[in-house]
Structure 1
Amino acid sequence: MQVATTSGKYSVKHYPDKIQSWKKEGNYFYFYTSETILELRVISDKIVRFRYAADGTFQRDFSYGVSEKLEESPEYFDMREWPDSFEIITTAIRVFVARENLRITITDIEGRIINQDETGFHWQYYLQKGGKIVYCTKLVQEGEAFYGLGDKPTDLNLRGKRLENFGTDAYGYAKDTDPLYRNIPFYYGLHNGIGYGIFFDNTFRTLYDFGKERDDVSSFWARGGEMNYYFIYGPELLKVAESYARITGTAELPPLWALGYHQCRWSYFPDTRVKEIGQEFRKRGIPCDALYLDIDYMEGFRCFTWSKERFPDPKGLLRELSADGFKTVVIIDPGIKVDPEYPIYQELVQKGYACKRADGAPMEGDVWPGKCVFPDFTDPKVREWWAGLFRSLAENGVRGVWNDMNEPAVFELGTFPEDVRHDYDGENVSHRKAHNVYGHLMSKATATGLKRHLMPNRPFVITRSAYAGTQRWSSVWTGDNIASWEHLWLASVQCQRLAVSGLSFAGSDIGGFIGEPDGELYTRWIQLGTFHPLMRTHSASNETGFDQEPWSFGPEFEAVVKSFIQLRYRLLPYLYTTFWQYAAYGTPMLRPLAFVAQHDENTHDLNHEFMMGDSLLISHVSEAGMKEKSVYLPEGTWYYYFSDERFTGGQSVTVPTPLAEMPLFVKGGAVVPQYPDLQYVGEKKIMEMILQVYYGEGTTHSILYEDAGDHYAYKTGQYNLVRFKQSSEPAQFRLKKKFVGKFEADYTHHRLRIHGLPFAPKEYVVDGGEVRPLLPEHLKGNVVEIALERKFEEIVIR
């Protein structure tokens, strides 16, 4: 053991000494020093877990973040011994464990360094609070960039930052505020074109330094628990993201309506006001699928109740809204009002399900209802009880639930005191260990209840606090933001970061929760939100009584807002396909340009530009009065969406930004499926699927996923995958379609709209049949438009 003295509330630092022995058990390797044990587990050829027993005793191997479906699948691994190290080799990486001090070096097969310890693992006793503080320090490679860590409101590249995970109710946060609501202990490194990830599965307060204290060293540490991390090799960043999803789990497909437009306010009441809002959407022809009820729908803010005065007939109200195409989402917080006449409180206390202080007294604190107690969601019995409470909401017609205040937030305390005890699935721990998973487990219990009681419909859950793996059952939003241009910028960065941190189903409060935007800011925010997986306007009540709806800013802004919400609904099949990629493989729905062009160093520090799915590149208008914007395009051919102007990538281009437009580009070679205009999902049968096809030289591939948009028949094969292959030349366009699936869609035809043909087309051939002339009605300016039967397999245009 090597030690370094410190002072204050911490003990000396302990460092591993020489390896004295080792053993192998299947795909586990154990290395023993005089005091510390390293357990190295080969999960796959690109995923290795490192777990350290600081003083020779491992803690319980248990995780709320790791998916139960994680399977070990290494193709090959072997051990080699060298004079100064042990080498564990797979088909993709080589892991070297230094005999002198357990320090880790990971290279690719060719020997290029991917990740390397500086001092590596070390630890010290936490004298003031108990347990140990565990550290790991790494060398920063030349030009290395870092990404991830969830909702951090700062530049995408984290190089030079110091950050922490401790779920915090950060009302009105600003740029660089830290910590925030979510606790996602996963980050990426990128250097020399090589991408990797580290998932530090520790629920205590965790901290990260990406070269702030020393510019050549990165580190991560926790104030309790074990040093337990998963190393993930790409080398492509998107492959790292998919492997992280393999570890922590993938999302289920949401109901299609959840990808529509959501309208929310604190608060819409009484019931007549909710009806008025719904009627206004339909009267103005602005699409909308979801209306939210904030805490004022309850009786004195008591969860699972309805105000007798404001909402005397909830079932009737929700039935009426449903008939007009609206799905109702209601808020549920963790605080249960202390009220002996309140059945939920009675049951919570009688069953012993409430959190307790160290001396056994109930954990009490003030939130919206006044004095409250709080369920211990780390207890599986409590989660099951909580799930059962959603039956009454489902029976009244509720289709989604919004979990708020679950960091947990307590008015006078900020959060729970550290002495609060939790079951932690049978372990009995303090709040120090449970804090970062409290909201995670609340939303899990909520999702379990909704799924059970809404069957066969799919549930929709949105939560403010989260831990790694929350994507398996919930969406998230970026929290209590502000109506400002800075927060519009933050919304873009935070949603990109959440996506690559496993939480793609995310959005911001469009327009800002705090304060009042003007019409320009709101419109530009709607434009950005059109390309976020969750699209929700939400605002706080205020003295002026201002309501933040799409029509609130006058006809000029309303017309633009309406056009973008309509665009959102036209793009639903593309968005749903992108969500399927996320659900099936863990591929982020939003992709910073560094994740799609990682060999182009120009992309590594970009914040504004991102891809939504495979084919759309977005760069929002980020300043008031902006007349034009410079946008960096990766290599390839790109079409400006609003004019079809063609650009060559690998450079910055400048496009105008009138109010009715935003920088939106389509990748050359793409097939973008679209619906006709809808007011809400399920409004009518869709008889024709539109295919917006963009010419691209060479061979390109696109995909369309489709199913019923609700229910679970897709899990038994009731879905379609439609694959498109474009193989075009300077004087010929060719598109092939391959269809696989069992789902019977309503539409019988495709309408192809082919953009950017570089030649004057004269004829076309379908499925090798007769040559047909292109008639004047096929030519819509520079676009060729042809209606084809759904079953077509190939079209050639010359």
Structure 2
Amino acid sequence: MITNTELEYKGDLYPTKIVSFEHEVDSVFFHTDNSVILKVTVLRDSLIRFRFTTKGYFSNDFSYAIDKSHSHGYNFLEVSEVEDYYQIKTSKVQCRIQKIDMRLSIFDLEDHLILEDELGFHWEESYEYGGNIVKMSKSSKDGECFYGLGDKATQLNLKGKRLENFATDQYAFQKDQEPLYKVVPFYIGLHNKKTYGIFFDNTFRTYFDFCHERRNVSSYWAEGGEMNYYFIYGPQMQDVVTTFTDLTGKPELPPLWALGYHQCKWSYYPESNLKEVAAKFRELKIPCDALYLDIDYMEGFRCFTWNKEYFPDPKRMVAELAEDGFKTVVIIDPGIKIDKEYSIYKEALEKDYFCKRADGPYMKGKVWPGECNFPDYTNPAVREWWAGLFKELVSDIGVKGVWNDMNEPAVMEVPNKTFPMDVRHDYDGNPCSHRKAHNIYGTQMARATYHGVKRFAYPKRPFVITRSAYAGAQRYSSSWTGDNVASWEHLWVANIQVQRMSISGMGFTGSDIGGFAEQPSGELYARWIQLGVFHPFCRTHSSGDHGNQEPWAFDEEVIDITRKFVSLRYQLLPYLYTMFWQYIEEAIPMLKPLVYYDQEDIQTHYRNDEFIFGNQILVCPILEPNSLGRRMYIPRGHWYNYWTNQEVKGGKEIWVDTKFDQIPLFVKSGSIIPKYPIQQYVGELEFDELTLDVYYKSGKEKSVVYEDAQDGYDYKKGRYSFLSFQIIGKEKELIIQVHKEGKYDTNYSKYKINFIGLPFKVKNIEIDNEKILFDKRTFENGNYLIIDKEFTELHIIGE
């Protein structure tokens, strides 16, 4: 038994005994005799916030991560005192706080332990900075698993790992390298088939240790700030993830084109080069919706300028690309070149908008334009000014999206790759040093960019993408996983990173397909495309140092595979759009690791490769060269092989044969998968029928399809179409019922229904209780039916 005295002797300090408490509405305050205060706030029955202070008072409560509109309100709250502890009880959990040392434990209502403190809260005086290093350690049980923390380049289950959160420009990062570009200090614990979540909302450099240093202890700590964390109870992982996503916020619907295929390179210039790329996509019939301009489109890398030698008339060029279905996305970095002739620099200087060092001068750092100053995006006035700068790009020239890069913030030629830690920030009226503001700098830049693009794109929807992000950045921006490498290992890493981002609240994420650094082989590029089309954000991007990385840089077979899989993504756009709708409406992640899908099956706890795309499609990429098949785990239930339509019973690992132009894809039985015809870009075609692939199941299954005008804000006024399909499969019949909500009338009038896996020959077909005539021979040959969309029940009766 370690005593408090011994621990203090080691340099760490601990709360002593509780001497008083008070209950105020949704919060309970506990005071110790060494001036520690714990504030416990019940936000929802399954969401409890814990704040500790060692000063005897709390600083101003401010967070960039928490969405002010998040759901809160509880059904039941009772505070009671027994001999050794205080108890706070809700309708989901009970929290016990020990009187002797403030250590706490959380139980469900059946008294099953969910989470308990090991040493609990402790701290170390940091005289160098005048604050505390705040620490928390929890007991971990044998078999406990850990997930989350954003885009870490390591296996999905974090058990045994020690990780660091400090937004860093990690060019060509390696597997297991720490830290990376994003900071999401949120993890999910799973033990005894029950899950909980911890969100440590602290923007200083933070660390997490999942039983790495000590076998049965998980811990997290920060180099400053408060011990301030949210506990989320499941017991299902989906409950934890949706609560966290709701707490930190959800994005708006993107325009549908943003879910298409994007092409990028460092850099497409001059204009003729960009036009050639555009023409080649259309010639080869590989669908594409967006082309990106990297830093070379600017005049000397100055933000909000154009190099008139490369792009003499940007407005004309952007309009001509738009006529052919291409949207133009441009990069904007935070570094503003120090140049007295440069209007943006002059204006920021006059208004005193740049970050300053502690002793007064503007912080100066080298990035692409040379010596730069950097706007303080934590100042609301600076964000408002920055938003206004997008008028010319978006309103006048017609750019459709903006890409924020280098916003960790990255600085060249300095050992720490970023600002000095003494740089000062406004932090929305809570002045602080860069130690506190570093991890949210990129998010606040993305926020200012989003408000600018949204203002000037209106009545269309904005599209923004950021490299650096803190929890909550998903409210403003999509993201990608940064400067990866053209290697098979990085293909494995990309698959896990995007799954992890999805369950960490940031769904709209992808990787640089093919790898940014170095050059992929044709085989690696093809395998990456086959994975990338199943990521919410789908973009090829490369450094261009080793040649080109457009699909036609490889042989005919790779071109054909790229066309096939990108075309499949475009067919699945209504399915993908529906996934996005469920993400923004219900906080359901768009990609689901197998452990999220079925946490009660212990076989899923260590699976990395397979994931569920949406709710009904199982994807397993091929991650090794020269592979025409692989072993994979099929989760419980019945699944159809997408390529062969053969049904497989899950709950086991199987070998799946594939070809070079395939990866293992399975569709859950009972699913109805909506498909559009293949288009070269979103909105190219008017079409009169929606394809529905119906996969037979014995029993019931529900599917949904969300559609709207694909851009604009009419959907917020009820102008959307939300179809709920239910299928009921029996031995010799299949019933499809449909219920429609919303005021949007789609431009198609018919459904083409493909029936897959029907176990009987069809004798009769009834629509809304009326028998219809149909050609049995045609039906048996094609297994499809074309019917008017205005039906409520379709009844297929077998012989």
TM score, norm. by length of structure 1? 0.98
Letter of the structure 1 residue corresponding to residue 98 of structure 2 = A
Query: What residue in structure 2 maps to residue 44 of structure 1?
Result: 44
Q: Does 1:795 align with 2:794?
A: yes
Distance 1:224 1:90 in 2: 31
Query: What residue in structure 1 maps to residue 550 of structure 2?
Result: 549
Distance 1:474 1:59 in 2: 30
Query: What residue in structure 2 maps to residue 81 of structure 1?
Result: 81
Q: Deviations over 1:180-223 (max 9, x none)?
A: 00011110000111011011100000100000001100001111
Query: What residue in structure 2 maps to residue 381 of structure 1?
Result: 381
Say if 1:84 and 1:98, in contact at 8 Å, map to a contact too. yes
Alignment counterpart, residue 513 of structure 1, candidates 513, 516, 528 = 516
Letter of the structure 2 residue corresponding to residue 151 of structure 1 = D
Q: Within 5 A, what are the aligned runs for 1:309-708?
A: 309-394=309-394, 395-413=396-414, 414-542=417-545, 544=546, 546-708=547-709
Distance 2:140 2:687 in 1: 53
Distance 2:459 2:61 in 1: 35
Measured after TM superposition, the shift of residue 136 of structure 1 is 0.8
For the structure 1 residues 74 and 747, does the alpha-carbon distance in structure 2 shift closer, same or farther, using more than 3 Å as the test? same
Query: What residue in structure 2 maps to residue 103 of structure 1?
Result: 103
Q: Within 5 A, what are the aligned runs for 1:742-781?
A: 742-780=743-781
SS at match of 1:486: helix
Distance 2:581 2:679 in 1: 21
Distance 1:22 1:71 in 2: 27
Distance 1:567 1:743 in 2: 26
SS at match of 2:302: coil
Say if 2:762 and 2:776, in contact at 8 Å, map to a contact too. no
Measured after TM superposition, the shift of residue 70 of structure 1 is 2.4
Query: What residue in structure 2 maps to residue 21 of structure 1?
Result: 20
Say if 2:8 and 2:14, in contact at 8 Å, map to a contact too. no
Measured after TM superposition, the shift of residue 530 of structure 1 is 0.8
Letter of the structure 2 residue corresponding to residue 696 of structure 1 = K
Say if 1:451 and 1:459, in contact at 8 Å, map to a contact too. yes
SS at match of 1:551: helix
Measured after TM superposition, the shift of residue 71 of structure 1 is 4.1
Letter of the structure 2 residue corresponding to residue 693 of structure 1 = V
Measured after TM superposition, the shift of residue 72 of structure 1 is 2.6
Query: What residue in structure 2 maps to residue 242 of structure 1?
Result: 242
Distance 2:687 2:77 in 1: 52
Say if 1:94 and 1:107, in contact at 8 Å, map to a contact too. yes
Letter of the structure 2 residue corresponding to residue 590 of structure 1 = L
Letter of the structure 1 residue corresponding to residue 274 of structure 2 = V
Say if 2:338 and 2:372, in contact at 8 Å, map to a contact too. yes
Letter of the structure 2 residue corresponding to residue 794 of structure 1 = E
Measured after TM superposition, the shift of residue 2 of structure 1 is 3.6
SS at match of 1:114: strand
Say if 2:764 and 2:771, in contact at 8 Å, map to a contact too. no
Say if 1:4 and 1:12, in contact at 8 Å, map to a contact too. no
SS at match of 1:381: helix
Say if 1:502 and 1:588, in contact at 8 Å, map to a contact too. yes
Distance 1:354 1:68 in 2: 28
Measured after TM superposition, the shift of residue 773 of structure 1 is 4.6
Q: Deviations over 1:425-452 (max 9, x none)?
A: 1121110000000001000000000000
Measured after TM superposition, the shift of residue 5 of structure 1 is 5.9
Letter of the structure 1 residue corresponding to residue 67 of structure 2 = S
Letter of the structure 1 residue corresponding to residue 540 of structure 2 = T
Q: Does 1:90 align with 2:90?
A: yes
Query: What residue in structure 2 maps to residue 140 of structure 1?
Result: 140
Q: Does 1:286 align with 2:289?
A: no
Say if 2:7 and 2:13, in contact at 8 Å, map to a contact too. no
269-278 vs 756-765, which moves further: 756-765
Query: What residue in structure 2 maps to residue 209 of structure 1?
Result: 209
SS at match of 2:551: coil
Measured after TM superposition, the shift of residue 129 of structure 1 is 2.2
SS at match of 2:790: coil
Query: What residue in structure 2 maps to residue 193 of structure 1?
Result: 193
* Percent of paired sites with the same residue: 51
> Where does structure 1 lack aligned partners over 5 or more consecutive residues?
none
Distance 1:773 1:267 in 2: 56
Say if 1:245 and 1:585, in contact at 8 Å, map to a contact too. no
Measured after TM superposition, the shift of residue 775 of structure 1 is 1.8
Distance 1:193 1:760 in 2: 42
Letter of the structure 2 residue corresponding to residue 785 of structure 1 = Y
Query: What residue in structure 1 maps to residue 741 of structure 2?
Result: 740
Measured after TM superposition, the shift of residue 55 of structure 1 is 2.8
Letter of the structure 2 residue corresponding to residue 218 of structure 1 = S
Letter of the structure 2 residue corresponding to residue 616 of structure 1 = I
Q: Deviations over 1:526-561 (max 9, x none)?
A: 00001000000000121x5x2111121111111111
Measured after TM superposition, the shift of residue 128 of structure 1 is 1.9
Say if 1:287 and 1:678, in contact at 8 Å, map to a contact too. yes
SS at match of 1:625: coil
Letter of the structure 1 residue corresponding to residue 492 of structure 2 = W
Say if 1:478 and 1:507, in contact at 8 Å, map to a contact too. yes
Query: What residue in structure 2 maps to residue 158 of structure 1?
Result: 158
> Where does structure 2 lack aligned partners over 5 or more consecutive residues?
none
Query: What residue in structure 2 maps to residue 118 of structure 1?
Result: 118
Distance 1:337 1:536 in 2: 29
Measured after TM superposition, the shift of residue 108 of structure 1 is 0.8
For the structure 1 residues 4 and 134, does the alpha-carbon distance in structure 2 shift closer, same or farther, using more than 3 Å as the test? farther
- The runs of at least 4 consecutive aligned structure 1 residues that moved more than 4 Å come to 3-7
SS at match of 1:197: strand
For the structure 1 residues 760 and 54, does the alpha-carbon distance in structure 2 shift closer, same or farther, using more than 3 Å as the test? same
TM score, norm. by length of structure 2? 0.98
Distance 1:694 1:159 in 2: 38
Say if 2:133 and 2:221, in contact at 8 Å, map to a contact too. yes
Q: Deviations over 1:57-113 (max 9, x none)?
A: 211100000001124310111112211111111111111111111111111111111
Q: Deviations over 1:257-282 (max 9, x none)?
A: 00000000000000111111111111
Say if 2:44 and 2:73, in contact at 8 Å, map to a contact too. yes
Q: Deviations over 1:330-359 (max 9, x none)?
A: 000000001000000111111110001111
Letter of the structure 2 residue corresponding to residue 99 of structure 1 = K
Letter of the structure 2 residue corresponding to residue 333 of structure 1 = D
Letter of the structure 1 residue corresponding to residue 345 of structure 2 = Y
Say if 1:166 and 1:436, in contact at 8 Å, map to a contact too. yes
SS at match of 2:446: helix
Query: What residue in structure 2 maps to residue 731 of structure 1?
Result: 732
Q: Deviations over 1:659-679 (max 9, x none)?
A: 111011100001111101111
Distance 2:491 2:688 in 1: 37
SS at match of 2:529: helix
Say if 1:286 and 1:679, in contact at 8 Å, map to a contact too. yes
Say if 1:589 and 1:613, in contact at 8 Å, map to a contact too. yes
Say if 1:391 and 1:449, in contact at 8 Å, map to a contact too. yes
Letter of the structure 1 residue corresponding to residue 101 of structure 2 = N
